[in-house]
Structure 1
């Protein structure tokens, strides 16, 4: 009479252990490197300044040795800067650019981030050399093995229980038929189908979520153009080529004429060796000759000798047609730095997509990013918030508070 219940209980327990072994490690593992990449890498590097200061040795500077102060700073920079002169001076040093607040980060997550960025080299190294960050310990594999061992132990205990029940029944003279093979057992078959359905559904959902996301997309362009050489080494301002980023909806790709403003005179590459990500060396002078071919320029005659044609650059960052995005609203009104969305563009040889540009990624930024209200005419209509800031009722206004998470703001 109890056999069907026993089989159902075993099936349920086995399914539960299977799910734990498959997904439990992802919930338990805490990875400082992943947290750093997701929350900090767009503005901070370990050993050099970006939008924010380099983080190597950060716990030895200012008041950050006191973890409570560090937590307060990370979660509410604008509010904490009012009580800590070091923080206020740090904001002034970086031209008033305020760090994004991260109120959702727990103490353990903040500790994991700073453990990652301040970890010394594994081999000891020279303490006077820049720190080389080491990934935080990842115990996912250990948790997976542990879950698997527990599953095996549970199955053994179930089998022992079944044998003991059988011995007891035989002693009491109760005769039970031989159990069905597992491939004929309806409970096992149903459990297998449910597990297959859940696994398939999870994989399909993940694939659907990632449709259209092109993180790390790096197509080969008609001409090898190095942002590291132009924006990094030669310090060419982003707006010289992408003027629309500050004044219009689109950042714009520069025309051939913009390139020729410099390359009429610069016809030979003499900078550092150019190497693609796959190790292939690039002849910079040959790439300049490709530009001349598109422009119709004859460097020997020092004049245009044939009609030019546009360079067919391959677009990297693409948003769905139903999404509205305005560069100037972010860069000019919001003061967002290029690196926030595009990564360390000044260090890229060939450009790739740094952020996933998902709706969740945008929404999280709108929830956490404080708007610069002071002396910003774009936000002059929000009189209530200006008054609340002056009276001290609030210390900052996020994009969310001015409608930055409303559907119609970004969707037609």
Structure 2
């Protein structure tokens, strides 16, 4: 007895140049006390100063907007370095040849003065530049060698390319099976016809399939009708679920601000522009004054002459005392309460968790759906960062009997009144 089997396929799925901080590729006789320089506390404090004042334009081991900073202890003096950090233009105006050369090398870009940094801050900063965040070659090699595996792991399963290959193989196998079945039927039909059969059996073996009868049959009409109704119903339901969802929305802005350039290439922290993200409900849209912190000095990119058209728009807004009319991308309904400080400062959630790879976006778009289901799913899966936070000590104690990690859902993350009140 012959039978045909159906196979089911698989579905496949970052200029601000704020400061030319140290134009120091040199500081000979940099005599930082080794005990201080290698102090973990000094390095940690220096990293904080670096991230707040230097990271926008400098990297430790390679050129960025400004020069690489590592190794300055092998060049100029400490006094020179501190003077330059506090007021680079005063050092250049004094006729210092080294400072003048760096100023020219980096397109005469002016670095704001840092008179507010105390001497201790400068010592910590120099300690971090010299000893902080040194790359581990072995770790880098391991990371490079494990890119493919990491990519598969991050995807949570088999890479998309493998799925494509698997589906292709299954299609080929299906075709082969159909061909083999056709050959078997043909051979058996010829074999049976050679046997001594009754007229009724011969008629049965030789019968042809009437395609028109199949299309006109009640079963076919019922199946097609059911499929059409199911398709229309699914389309209607999908449409209803998409009401108010703006995933993928990426409107044109009045100024072509590139997050890929600012947050990606120059690694400017999101908090530098979105100042409310750690202290309030809203991350807030930066004013032109924040832009002018850098663009008072940066008028173009790539060493070009004059003021670029997009930067000129910032100047126009400041001169006319009119705000830049940015188009809001991420909107939550008024009935939902969301607090950035609670998630970023307390929860330690990275901006990319909700906003996607913002450091890669030329034009910002809404990466996530931001629906209630999406938020609830995050609350069900996200573990609470309880270590070193006394606020959660009692909750951890009460949760100690459970084998599962303490998650947002366990501290009321699924209660309606948390977001709707």
Report the TM-score, using the length of structure 1 for normalisation.
0.54
| Displacement of 1:113 | 5.2
Q: Distance in 1 between matches of 2:229 and 2:186?
A: 27
Structure 2 runs not aligned, ≥5 long: 14-132, 134-138
Aligned counterpart, 1:249:
281
After TM superposition, the structure 1 = structure 2 runs for residues 9-408 of structure 1, keeping only pairs within 5 Å, are 24-26=9-11, 34=13, 57-58=142-143, 110=153, 135-138=161-164, 139-143=166-170, 170=200, 181-263=213-295, 265-271=296-302, 285-295=308-318, 297=319, 307-376=320-389, 378-379=391-392, 383-386=394-397, 388-389=399-400, 396-408=405-417
| Displacement of 1:244 | 1.6
Alpha carbons 1:373, 1:386 under 8 Å: kept: no
Q: Say if 1:154 and 1:173 are closer, same or farther in 2 by CA, change over 3 A.
A: closer
- The structure number with the bigger radius of gyration is 2
Alpha carbons 2:358, 2:364 under 8 Å: kept: yes
Q: Distance in 2 between matches of 1:25 and 1:394?
A: 35
Aligned counterpart, 1:128:
none
| Displacement of 1:331 | 0.4
Computed over aligned residues only, the root mean square deviation of the Cα atoms, in angstroms, reads 4.6
Offset from partner CA, 1:127-151 (integer Å, 9 cap, x none): xxxxxxx943423344456567778
| Displacement of 1:320 | 3.2
Q: Distance in 1 between matches of 2:392 and 2:413?
A: 13
Alpha carbons 2:250, 2:364 under 8 Å: kept: yes
| Displacement of 1:366 | 1.6
Offset from partner CA, 1:175-232 (integer Å, 9 cap, x none): xxx9873343222111110122223333443444444444443221110112233334
> SS at 2:214's partner residue?
coil
> SS at 2:313's partner residue?
helix
Q: Distance in 1 between matches of 2:342 and 2:176?
A: 55
Aligned counterpart, 2:79:
none
Offset from partner CA, 1:57-96 (integer Å, 9 cap, x none): 44978xxxxx9xx9xxxxxxxxxxxxxxxxxxxxxxxxxx
| Displacement of 1:327 | 0.8
| Displacement of 1:336 | 0.6
Q: Distance in 1 between matches of 2:348 and 2:184?
A: 62
Q: Say if 1:234 and 1:192 are closer, same or farther in 2 by CA, change over 3 A.
A: closer
After TM superposition, the structure 1 = structure 2 runs for residues 3-14 of structure 1, keeping only pairs within 5 Å, are none
Q: Distance in 1 between matches of 2:226 and 2:180?
A: 23
Report the TM-score, using the length of structure 2 for normalisation.
0.53
Structure 1 runs not aligned, ≥5 long: 1-9, 35-48, 62-66, 71-108, 117-133, 274-282, 298-306
| Displacement of 1:324 | 2.2
Alpha carbons 2:399, 2:406 under 8 Å: kept: no
